[in-house]
Structure 1
Amino acid sequence: MTRRILSETTSASDALLDALRSAGRVVVFTGAGISTESGIPDFRSTGGMWSRMEPILYDAFLTSEDARLTDWQRRFDMAERFAAAEPNAAHRVIARLAQEGKVTTVVTQNIDGLHARAGVPRDKLIEIHGAGDHARCLDCGKRHEIAEAKHAIETTGAAPRCADCGGLVKAAIISFGEPMPQDDLEAAMRAAVEADLFLALGTSLVVYPAAALPQLAREAGARLVIASRAPTEQDQDADFVVRTPLAATFAALEQVKI
């Protein structure tokens, strides 16, 4: 049974502070709910992108030029939205704790790049679904910039290809039907089982295999805190559940030594 459900911001902030101060190795796992307060919509919720249009499947991207061009236009729109957003207090506090060593790993399902922009060190950040701020060649892996891809399409009318090897260039995001990078998943699993506190923030915990990370941490002995505005199927396993807005909850911790 869940011990506590906290729906008042001050109580939630105090509980998080106590949990963080008593922990030695903290792993943070984030979903769309941490970024909605920065103005980035939850693409899966009612009214979100995937409720209004069909996603471009990975196989379609590989085989159809029309699908590739449609996918790229969506990525350009997303990149503009991401660039206009700013990390909020939750991103900033997590970044500070990662810099200070309290947080050992940040695993995010988000593709908005806000954790990196907030200052989470790259060696502590696992963007398990990729990142929307750049692209990569599917054959040789070379990094390409989104602006380069946009210029290529505007100039040629065709989806971009790698100048080095001729391979398809795709936004560095894990598409529907695309295998998740095994190295990233294994690194996230290792971090989860080594944690003594696991914070699941702004995630519905329905997208597997990533949603199994809190369960792994709990089974290995970590305390589990879930912060989600809506109930999740794992709430009953948490030490406590936070229902308050994440930015406001973490704002109280910005000037506090942890």
Structure 2
Amino acid sequence: MTRKIQLKDVEKDGQVAAQLQAVSQTLNKAKKIVFVTGAGISCSAGIPDFRSENGLYSMVKSAYPNAVVKGKDLFDAVLFSNPVSTSVFCTFMARLRSCILDARPTPVHKFIKLLHDKKKLLRCYTQNIDGLESRNGLRVGVESKNTDVVQLHGDIHQLKCTLCGHKVNWSEPMRETLEEGMAPECPNCFEKAEERTTAGKRCPRVGCMRPDIVLYGEDHPDGDIIGRSIALDIRARPDCLIIAGTSLKVLGIRKLVRAVAKTVHEKGGKVIFVNQTGVASSMWNDVIDWHVETDCDTWIEDLRMRSPELFFKQASLTTGPAKSLKATKQKSTEKVK
């Protein structure tokens, strides 16, 4: 049965404080943690809300006033249904990446790095395409070997040819082309086309470059690789699962969470879900042990207060001057009482 913990009630409800203390103790004891993250952990990073009327979508929409595109479709393959919506996609991706480049890792990103440094992190699986984990020195990718964070939906910082699959990093000319609503030509295809033309042979098609991300409605090109990574981590027998900043609406992430949670429970571990909104209790009652109902960064601040030893030498996880270890422990004791 899922126990809901509303962090906003911690000051007036001793039961809430006791439950939060139990969560912190679980993390202190855990040795093999799997972390699953969604867009909610990047909200405070400086990346604007792309779906809201005043967010990044409205900025892009102003450049295409006649385009019939909804905010919820910005990550849907339906955008390639016509040239106008394809242009919207190109401009949106260019502007989104610019925002991501200016973003900064959040307390949650830093906490994931902390778990890694303490050798508690088995793996992080993220639905995000921003790659902010790499800013803290974590290795991101799709394969489990030598990878700390598996990117389930791709990486916006790489471009991939729609024809030959060739991958490149963004260049300034490519960024400008995408910003203008056009997909740049693939340099690999273009080079081969020139070689054939010079040799007097028929010129082949030249593919276009687009961000190397997986949209709704598309098959995942690295699905088998990610599946092997998940299987490897399950065999490692994790003893704790943290799910943060996702509403668990995507089928693939549901399967991942259920598979890992099953192993965690068999090991006697716990599943912790941190999100401002909940999920259907009937579907997740046998999967999630605690639902901490709050903003992800707020939970990290509370966790730091309750388990200062877990955050030792990691004062940068929260803003403002670091408190002494003795003072933090004293405040933690007062909160629990």
Q: Same fold (TM over 0.5)?
A: yes
Structure 1 partner of 2:158? 134
- Contact 2:92–2:179 under 8 Å retained in 1: no
**204, 228, 232: which one aligns with 2:275:** 228
Aligned residues: 256
Structure 1 partner of 2:233? 191
- Contact 1:92–1:118 under 8 Å retained in 2: yes
Structure 2 partner of 1:27? 34
**CA RMSD, Structure 1 to Structure 2 (Å):** 3.1
**TM-aligned CA deviation for residue 199 of structure 1:** 0.5
**172, 176, 185: which one aligns with 1:151:** 176
Which TM-score applies when normalising by structure 2? 0.66
Structure 2 partner of 1:88? 106
Looking at structure 2, the residues matched to 57 and 228 of structure 1 have their Cα atoms a distance apart, in angstroms, of 24
Looking at structure 2, the residues matched to 26 and 114 of structure 1 have their Cα atoms a distance apart, in angstroms, of 20
Question: Superposition pairs for residues 68-217 of structure 1, below 5 Å?
Answer: 68-122=86-140, 123-138=147-162, 139-145=164-170, 147-152=172-177, 158-165=182-189, 166-180=206-220, 181-182=222-223, 183-192=225-234, 194-217=237-260
Structure 1 partner of 2:308? 256
- Contact 2:91–2:178 under 8 Å retained in 1: no
**TM-aligned CA deviation for residue 184 of structure 1:** 2.1
Answering whether residue 104 of structure 2 is matched by residue 52 of structure 1, we say no
The percentage of counterpart residues that share the same residue type is: 24
- Seen in structure 2, the aligned counterparts of structure 1 residues 113 and 242 have a Cα distance that, compared at 3 Å, is same
Whose relative contact order is higher, 1 or 2, with alpha carbons under 8 Å and at least 6 apart?
A: 1
What residue identity is the alignment partner of 1:125? V
- Contact 1:95–1:118 under 8 Å retained in 2: yes
* Secondary structure at the counterpart of residue 250 of structure 2: coil
Looking at structure 2, the residues matched to 192 and 184 of structure 1 have their Cα atoms a distance apart, in angstroms, of 12
Looking at structure 1, the residues matched to 188 and 29 of structure 2 have their Cα atoms a distance apart, in angstroms, of 51
What residue identity is the alignment partner of 1:164? N
**TM-aligned CA deviation for residue 253 of structure 1:** 2.8
Greater CA radius of gyration, 1 or 2?
Answer: 2
What residue identity is the alignment partner of 2:211? A
Looking at structure 1, the residues matched to 179 and 44 of structure 2 have their Cα atoms a distance apart, in angstroms, of 33
Looking at structure 2, the residues matched to 36 and 65 of structure 1 have their Cα atoms a distance apart, in angstroms, of 31
**TM-aligned CA deviation for residue 121 of structure 1:** 2.8
The runs of 5 or more residues in structure 2 that have no matched partner are: 12-16, 58-68, 141-146, 190-205, 311-337
Deviates more, 1:29-38 or 1:39-48: 39-48
Structure 2 partner of 1:17? 24
**32, 46, 65: which one aligns with 1:39:** 46
Structure 2 partner of 1:219? 262
What are the Cα deviations for residues 146-180 of structure 1, in whole angstroms up to 9, with x where unaligned? 6342234579x842121112322110111122212
Structure 1 partner of 2:193? none
Structure 1 partner of 2:289? 239
Which TM-score applies when normalising by structure 1? 0.84
Deviates more, 1:133-142 or 1:37-46: 37-46
Looking at structure 1, the residues matched to 171 and 213 of structure 2 have their Cα atoms a distance apart, in angstroms, of 12
Looking at structure 1, the residues matched to 125 and 179 of structure 2 have their Cα atoms a distance apart, in angstroms, of 35
Deviates more, 1:35-44 or 1:132-141: 35-44
- Seen in structure 2, the aligned counterparts of structure 1 residues 65 and 4 have a Cα distance that, compared at 3 Å, is closer
Looking at structure 2, the residues matched to 115 and 15 of structure 1 have their Cα atoms a distance apart, in angstroms, of 27
